[in-house]
Chain A
Amino acid sequence: MKRKQAGKLVLSVIMGLTLLTGCGSSTRADGEVTVNLASEPPQMTSFLTTDIASGTILRHVVVGLTTLDENDKAVAGIAETWEVNDNTYTWKLRQDAKWNNGDPVTAHDFEFAFDELFRTSNGSGYASTWAAYIEGAEEVMAATSIKLCPIIAGDEELADAKWDEENGYYVDGEGSPVADKGKNKLDEYGDPQYKACSQSDAEAAAQEKAIAEAYANKGWKALDDYTFEVTYTGPYPYIPDLMAFYSFLPINEKLYEEYGGLEGYGQDADKIAYNGPFTVASWTHEDSIILEKNENYYDKDHIKLNKIEFKMIEDSAAALNGFENGDLDMVGLSGEQYRQYVEEGKTTYAYEDGGNWYFQFNTTKKPFNNKKVRKAMSLGIDVQAYIDTVVLNDSKIGQSFTTPAIRNGEFYEKVGELYDRTNNDFTAIKTMLEEGLKEEGMTLADFKPSLLGDVGDSPLKMYAFFQEQWSKNLGVEVEIDQVEFKTRLERMDTQQFDIAFAGWSLDYNDPMTYLDLWLTDGGINQGKYSNPEYDEIIAAAYQEGDPKKREELLIKAEKIIAEDMPVGVLYYSTRNYVTTERLKGVGRSAFRDIDLRFAETIADGN
């Protein structure tokens, strides 16, 4: 009796479930698409943004002075035309662009955004990168820095240390520096802690004056409502590209304040000012963002999509399941998924994301101060085999530091193949390694380096591959040290590593986005590579107005990197994705991770 009852129950549950199958998977009307953004955009205040997901949303809702077209070329955005006079650009703005509250987009909105970008107390992650490009920006950053005093108990010399504005270091009571010039940190004293300096009223007034002065001398100004003038620090050929970057997007000051300023702006759908093709209709954190066509957009006739839903599905298998179920119009593919799709003969798309993956060597540490050792360790890997077994797509072997994503590969072609990655003559490389080690008074037997890398599933596979290659090809046993990303950064910043597996992706469309990394005081030059010749070449390239000469300098810089090998380039990453047949005109590139501004849907079956 009992058993039957249980059977009945199961049956009725199944019947109940099958009745529900009537409700089909979500169908989307024409002009509506759902794509996977993969992660929550953490920072939608444009001058603070540093991540790709936020950048993708901003691309769809806010237009800057310029904007990137389908071919990644910088074209007119809010600025209709611009005049270049030496290093000064005069941007003439269009008069029909409007914010969501109906206000026109004016030069003051740009001025405000630039002001806030370089206001150090806002803490923009990109500010110090861009400050070098714009006249007066570094001065504004210095003036708006919070004055901090070191706290070192018991050290009387430091107790009354003061910040010397002019020279940029701390001075003691007598006015002599307590640390080397140019250093903000009191390195000799270990890692000091800081507190905000107590300021007297006079000092506070002085600072306020200094800030006002710095802003008065800034290199960007709204000449009138529709003319914005910016003076740059050099004849950079990529200024129009740069101005399309999200750091330089305009923000309407009135809306910024209304939406809560630094603490509140950009946190929810109704707290973002937009002037672009789409508006943020809703934002469910960690779930989805829905964009709808902006009826007030000046170029709305060219926008074909009415609604875009960005899903935040992090798990790539789950995303692909969703795609196969018909819930999503576009998802990215992992290497394994890409291989499967290729085997099944399905159409996939690919783009180079500008990512360059390399080994970074700690040149302060023996024997990695020796370039033969660095070279041997980076050339001792069969990179094609790595791409074929680990990356699992059509990523390219690295041949120079600048990836082909820059200027559609034009620069990359001119540089040519700087590394011999095809022969894989490991006996010769091993000999080179032994020579290098000998020069440092070491032998292969006592060379036991470690590789610092990230955690996760695919890194496990990646590092196992490298480890086995080094062991097989060079006879070097490398220990693998996997740590959390932030821990890795800290270990690299403090030179606690031998070899690190790291990557860099571009910011703007010029080789310089890669090449100025390895300046002696470069921000991510954690291997402390230093070559005065290289520094000079890059400095010269910054100020070189002639494109041809500039290019020659940059090629020279590439060759130095290939020769000294502070970093051993492995490969340039390619990403794969699939779309449904109804979605056409998707733009994806190193500069536009997802771009649906030019996309449209076509009716099924056509």
Chain B
Amino acid sequence: MIPKKKPNVMSKINHNETVYDCDCEVSADEFTHIGPMKNGGEHIARRSVGYFQGAVEYLMRDKLALILILILLFIVLGSVFIPMLSSYSFREQHLEHVNAGMFYTAPDGHHHLFGTDSLGRDLFVRIWEGGRISLSIAFAAVLINCLIGILYGGISGYFGGRLDNILMRVIDIINGIPYLLIIILLMTIMKRGIATIIIAYAAVGWCGMARLVRGQILQLKEQEFVICAQTMGASASRILLKHMIPNILSLIIVNLTLAIPGAIFTEAYLSFIGLGVPIPMASWGTLANDGIVNFQRYAFQLLLPAFFISITMLSFNLLGDKLRDAFDPKLRR
């Protein structure tokens, strides 16, 4: 391409020329006054919908989103009810058929849909039982990230200066202390259990979210709409919650979905070092942990929990994408 000189379009228009070409005249009496339009005139064609309502409706119209919601619902309900309904308990050991494969039926009529683990425990029940733990942890992680992480990061970023500096250095210190040490000290004062796991996660789990939110707020707060809101006298909390957070909601959602597997495997790590779910309970993380020991011979023991973690993750992620579209009016299509 040879660069050409752009023709100057503007210069071609002669501003002195008159625009009216018609030589006929229109008189006022040719018009009659019919009054305001009876049917409402400029009525609003679309229903007026609020922010959240719009998002929900958008989501409901999307088939994929609906399917994802159904999958998640199925996993949640399955985790709640299947262990109750199953003929096996999650701790029962069938020592006569350990490491049974999937769809195994024992000579005595025992049936194990997902096979058994190395202690002969029914994996089908353990997977669903594990879902209870892992999903609880996942929801707790989301909640902690939202409550502490977003607020902490928001405040730090918005107010900036010395406060920001101090709040961020506190995060540095929390991140700097070896996590294992925190857990070992927690163990001296607490027993194994879900509450302990959540506290152990909460101790540091929110820091990443706080950092992310703070970084985005730092960028946002210099933008015109924020300055505008400030000039109009909006309170800090209003600016933060009403103006800034919705603007970074998409990132928050993505980060939340990323935090979920982190929490699930934090729990597995805690179990490994003695602070996770009490023996003989299971979680997806610990099931995957057990599975890796023998993956060459009994691949399904690793694949099953990995599948459930992945499918849940995939649903959360896709749903997260849909949610961000739903919550961001600019992106709705």
A interface residues (Cβ-Cβ under 8 A, vs B): 336, 340, 385, 388-390, 455-457, 460-461, 463-465, 467-468, 479-484, 487
Contact = CB atoms under 8 A, between A and B. Distances in A.
A475 to B, nearest CB: 14
Given A336-B294, A389-B120, A487-B184, A468 B274 contact: no
Interface residues of B, number: 25
A480 B279 contact: yes
A213 to B, nearest CB: 46
Contacts of B119: 389-390, 461, 464-465, 468
A389 B95 contact: yes
Given A385-B95, A464-B279, 19 more contacts: A336-B294, A340-B297, A389-B95, A389-B98, A389-B119, A390-B119, A460-B279, A460-B286, A460-B290, A461-B119, A463-B279, A464-B91, A464-B119, A465-B119, A467-B91, A468-B93, A483-B187, A487-B187, A487-B188
Interface of A is mostly: helix
A496 to B, nearest CB: 11
Interface in B289-328: 289-290, 293-294, 296-297
Closest 9 CB pairs of A and B: A482-B274, A455-B274, A480-B279, A464-B280, A455-B273, A468-B93, A464-B279, A336-B294, A463-B279
A483 B296 CA distance: 30
Nearest to A385: B95
A462 to B, nearest CB: 10
Q: Which of B93, B119, B274 has the most CB of A within 10 A?
A: B274
B159 interface: no
A457 B290 CA distance: 7
B91 A457 contact: no
B255 interface: no
A481 B191 CA distance: 8
A336 B274 CA distance: 22
9 contacts: A389-B98, A389-B119, A460-B271, A460-B290, A467-B91, A467-B280, A468-B92, A481-B274, A487-B188
A483 B184 CA distance: 8
A461 B294 CA distance: 13
B118 interface: yes
Given A385-B95, A465-B119, A457 B293 contact: yes
Contact of B278 (A340, A468, A479): A479
A479 B278 CA distance: 8
A427 to B, nearest CB: 19
A552 B192 CA distance: 48
Given A467-B280, A480-B279, A461 B118 contact: yes
Residue in A390, A457, A479 with the greatest tally of chain B CB atoms within 10 Å: A457
Contacts of B297: 336, 340
Nearest to B281: A464
A480 B272 contact: no
Contacts of A388: 95
Name, among B91, B293, B296, the residue most crowded by chain A CB atoms within 10 Å (CB to CB): B293
Contact of B272 (A385, A457, A483): A457
Contacts of B272: 455-457, 460
Contacts of A456: 272
A497 B267 CA distance: 25
Nearest to A468: B93
In this complex, the member of A340, A464, A481 whose beta carbon has the largest number of chain B beta carbons within 10 angstroms is A464
A467 B192 CA distance: 16
